[in-house]
Amino acid sequence: MSQTEPASQNAQRLVLLVGTFGILAGVVGIRLAQDVQWVRFFDNMHWTVGTATAAIFAWLGQRSAVARNARGLRWIAIGLTAYAVGQVIWDAQTFLGYSDFPSPSDLFYLWLGPCVGAGLLIEVFQMSDRAQRKTLLMDAAMLAIAAVTLVLALYLPRRGGMDLLPLAILVAYPVTLFSALSIGLIAIPTLRLRLSWSYGLFLVSLATTAVCWMVWNAMALDGKTIDGSWFNSLFSLSVFGMGLATLNWSLSPSRDVQWERWSEGFLRLLPMAAVVLACVAVIVLDEALPKPVNSVIEIGAIVVVCLAVFRQSALLHEHDMLKAVSSKLEASEQQRILILNALPDLIWLKDAEGTFLMCNPVFERMYGHPESEILGKTDFDFVELELAQFFRQKDQEAMLAGRPCRNEEWVTFAMMVTGR
């Protein structure tokens, strides 16, 4: 352990302690405050502490991360830092009584979704091949379009006389966060990721932040009082969770066969499920809803269906490619068998434990057994102990050398076997 590791761990503990205390103090203060000004003060207190703690966590996590994760975490840290800066500007706006919308704080708050999305894309792209990237982008796009449709259907009836720019900013908050969440969620089955607690916490925290902004903006459009709302503390807790997750960031593929099957099945069913949901959304359209809302749902459904069609086409193309590769491998295997059977030399293959994996007909004649009876066994099953130990020693020497080795052996029993 290097000298910097204890210092880093101490810094993490200190930030965790201060952040937890600050958030709890703000939440408790809201419940005890009687005046609206104090309610706003404690709201801003736990928001500021939560966002600042998350940003510090993210940079500590980025600093201690392995090289392949550092670049993606850097973008996530930038997003959380901008979010924290936006909160500080919001505090200043509240102190000065500035209430115009859009406001300077929005310019920084809105960085969170795109930066987190960019960081997740960098992380999953370096773990995937070209086909997986294409699949991930199409599937994530389907979820993102569904999120856009949901948010617009929720906000448009509440728009009133609001101008287009403020409405677009209100929509951008949850949509950018839901889009980043879509990337993170689809990456799990696409890359067969092992579900670590840190990645799970990050996605749950990101989803909570997105839902909080969606509800907050809907309440703002309805003109409801937001100060001291029950879910205000969720903003702080969710962003705090995102930062905490980066300290133990872990993204790695799972080797579980059952998980592989479930992931593949989910990806194959996703386009069909998207089409069904799009059709249901169109069928249940309420004629009492404003026409713009109906149009948004219909357009969203059409886009989702188109993406699902492209996704299915990609699946069919992948299936055709797999069949072609399988045919080539089968032909190659047949050629290999013909070549091995024609060679006059002894040819066999063992694993690291000395167990036979394959052999050619010449080797079968030498041991006096067909390949089916030789596979899965070792030299100890066919020759005397001393000779089997000699074979095993030479095998180990070859493995340790890590290069081709030459060895000449006189085996008397081979002559006896081949003479039968």
Query: What's the rounded mean pLDDT across residues 235-239?
Result: 93
Neighbours of 189 (CB within 10 A): 21
pLDDT of residue 329: 66
pLDDT of residue 154: 79
Whole-prediction pTM: 0.72
Per-residue b or e along 135-173, where b marks 16 or more CB atoms closer than 10 Å to that residue's CB: bbbbbbbbbbbbbbbbbbbbbbebbeeeeeebbebbbbb
pLDDT of residue 177: 95
Distance CA 400, CA 387 (A): 20
Q: With bands split at pLDDT 50, 70 and 90, how would you rate the model's confidence at 285?
A: low
Q: Is it the case that residue 239 has pLDDT exceeding 90? A: yes
> What is the residue-averaged pLDDT of the chain?
82
- The fraction of the chain above a pLDDT of 90, given in percent, is 27
Query: What's the rounded mean pLDDT across residues 359-368?
Result: 84
Lowest mean pLDDT among 42-46, 302-306, 331-335: 331-335
pLDDT of residue 418: 37
Q: Give per-residue pLDDT as tens, 20-48.
A: 898 898 888 888 877 888 888 888 999 99
Lowest mean pLDDT among 4-18, 72-86, 348-362, 398-412: 398-412
Question: Angle at Cα 297 formed by Cα 292 and Cα 303, nearest 5°?
Answer: 120
Residue 347 CA to its chain's centroid (Å): 45
DSSP state of 127: T
Q: With bands split at pLDDT 50, 70 and 90, how would you rate the model's confidence at 54?
A: very high
The secondary structure element, H or E, covering residue 350 is: strand 348-350
- The fraction of the chain above a pLDDT of 70, given in percent, is 85
Look at the alpha carbons of 351, 354, 355, 358 in this order and tell me if their dihedral is positive or negative.
positive
Query: What's the rounded mean pLDDT across residues 397-417?
Result: 64
Distance CA 242, CA 24 (A): 17
pLDDT of residue 146: 82
Q: With bands split at pLDDT 50, 70 and 90, how would you rate the model's confidence at 78?
A: very high
Count how many residues are written for the chain.
420
Q: Give per-residue pLDDT as tens, 127-184.
A: 888 878 888 888 888 888 888 888 887 787 777 777 888 888 998 999 999 999 999 9
Lowest mean pLDDT among 120-124, 126-130, 310-314, 408-412: 408-412
Q: Copy the structure tokens of residue 230.
A: 């029950």
pLDDT of residue 416: 40
Distance CA 57, CA 242 (A): 9
Q: With bands split at pLDDT 50, 70 and 90, how would you rate the model's confidence at 7?
A: low
pLDDT of residue 3: 47
pLDDT of residue 319: 58
Beta strand pairing call for 348-350 and 356-359: antiparallel
Query: What's the rounded mean pLDDT across residues 198-209?
Result: 95
pLDDT of residue 396: 85
Q: Is it the case that residue 320 has pLDDT exceeding 80? A: no
Distance CA 34, CA 184 (A): 41
